Amino acid sequence: MSNYTFPKDFLWGGAIAANQSEGAYLEDGKGLTNVDLLPTGDKRRDIMKGYVPSLKPLKDEFYPSHEAIDFYHRYKEDIALFAEMGFKVLRVSIAWSRIFPTGEDETPNEAGLKFYDDLFDELLKNSIQPVVTLAHFDVPVNLIEKYGSWRSRELVYLFERYAKTVFSRYKDKVKYWMTFNEINMLLHLPFLAAGLIFKEEGNKKQIQYQAAHHQLVASALAVKTCHEIIPDAKIGCMLAAGTFYPYTCNPEDVFHALEKDRESYFFIDVQSRGKYPGYAKRFFKDHHLNIEMKPEDEEILKNHTVDFIGFSYYSSRTTSTDPEVIKNMTSGNVFGSVSNPYLEKSEWGWTIDPKGFRITANQLYDRYQKPLFVVENGLGAVDEVTEDGKINDDYRIDYLKQHIAEMAEAIQDGVEIIGYTSWGPIDIVSASTGEMKKRYGYIYVDRDNKGKGTLKRIKKKSFYWYKSVIESNGENL
């Protein structure tokens, strides 16, 4: 027993994304998307950054999302396991291209709509509420080819139509929504996050911030539509969070850390406060960026702010202005963090910082004063299956335990947190590396980096641990 107390209706659960779990990438009419073009291996990082060799899958590459863990066909079995753990919610995303295969089809694809109807029904039958992200990194390839993806205003209207379609269809089944997953990822991995392709380096920032503006307007319009169609729903934004620490107390470092945080807060400031912050205007001016905005945008952003702040937290980040210090960057971290000498790292070089979770939650709440929803957290690690078929993932339990404890502390600090969905409750494809070996799950999936394996599901030790955490509403940590 611990001393931790969580609100009575706390939303315990897990989070997955369509492209990392479903597979069936062209089945039942689904169209091709940017995330279907990410192979495992060396080329992946450059492609995610926007240097894309082809908008068709290449013969010699392996694309892990094409089959993923076959959640598309096995969701009933998986949901039964989530229900056994006592999940109150499951966060999933809708693949835009299952609903509108080219992004601009005249009518939605009924088979795609039906898949999510069945999925949500199955969840509700098991007393699990769906929490749904409209865009978890995916953009139909047709929209990339024809419009250059989010650099074009056209995407705003097409996304609005998609959002309207799914709100109308699922209005009785889904009460928690989010617009763009990790919207700030657009600045770091622009092809992964927003389908942006760069031919030349020069105008990259201009393209990114113009695309960001389009996503921010599209997000506000989705909030508006959601509130109109499902008045009892809550809709949030989603930030890849993790506060930046200054490496030293040198004011130069401290200010730099503030600026690094603002790079991410920028998005949420607009989505939650309803207007561009002053520092963004200065940034645009200093960098000679000219962001095209329509006269009506100001009102749209102002009037349709989010109901809650969804965020992922894996690690804190550290920054410095000292050229010697920044030689020592942590590997694997897309946010460009220098190594923090006080903290351990995961096998993939991600800093492990439970206290940073409490700090981040406090800072987000101080800033926005809206309910927070922790929609991703977890440890990507290699799991070994023992000869008798067990997975003793104490390291994962340890990570989660420490993070949940700090979340409880944040709640005691007065931070309003409505739920916690740990990332990848069943092993899925890693977004950053495409590996299966980087596992987050309470449920093991027999599949390797090359796509070999039976896809059999096995409960890990953490399965029983998380079940008991949920059962005791966080007391049995």
Q: For ligand BG6, give the closer residue by CB, 182 or 261.
A: 182
Contact between 357 and ligand BG6 per CB under 6 A: no
Task: Give the residue nearest to ligand BG6 (CB).
Answer: 432
Q: For ligand BG6, give the closer residue by CB, 191 or 276.
A: 191
Return d(Cα 228, Cα 248) in angstroms, integer. Answer: 48
Size of residue set near ligand BG6 by CB under 6 A: 14
Q: For ligand BG6, give the closer residue by CB, 79 or 240.
A: 240
C-beta of 442: minimal distance to ligand BG6 in Å? 15
Strands 372-376 and 308-313, bridge-based pairing: parallel
Contact between 377 and ligand BG6 per CB under 6 A: no
Contact between 351 and ligand BG6 per CB under 6 A: no
Q: For ligand BG6, give the closer residue by CB, 135 or 300.
A: 135
Contact between 222 and ligand BG6 per CB under 6 A: no
**What x/- string results for residues 302 through 341 when contact with ligand BG6 is judged by CB under 6 A?**
----------x-----------------------------
Q: For ligand BG6, give the closer residue by CB, 378 or 474.
A: 378
Contact between 432 and ligand BG6 per CB under 6 A: yes
C-beta of 440: minimal distance to ligand BG6 in Å? 7
Contact between 17 and ligand BG6 per CB under 6 A: yes
Joined tokens for residue 38: 């990410």
Work out which of 380, 425, 441, 474 binds ligand BG6, going by CB under 6 A.
380
Task: Name the catalytic one among 22, 122, 182, 376.
Answer: 376
Q: For ligand BG6, give the closer residue by CB, 31 or 380.
A: 380
C-beta of 334: minimal distance to ligand BG6 in Å? 8
C-beta neighbour count of 398 within 10 angstroms: 14
Work out which of 122, 182, 261, 269 binds ligand BG6, going by CB under 6 A.
182
**Burial of 14 per CB tally in 10 Å (0-12, 13-18, 19+):** buried
Work out which of 40, 109, 129, 430 binds ligand BG6, going by CB under 6 A.
430
Is 376 a known active-site residue? Answer: yes
C-beta of 19: minimal distance to ligand BG6 in Å? 8
Contact between 376 and ligand BG6 per CB under 6 A: yes
Q: For ligand BG6, give the closer residue by CB, 272 or 433.
A: 433
Binding-site ranges for ligand BG6 (CB under 6 A)? 17, 20, 181-182, 240, 312, 376, 380, 423, 430-433, 438
- The residues that are catalytic are 376
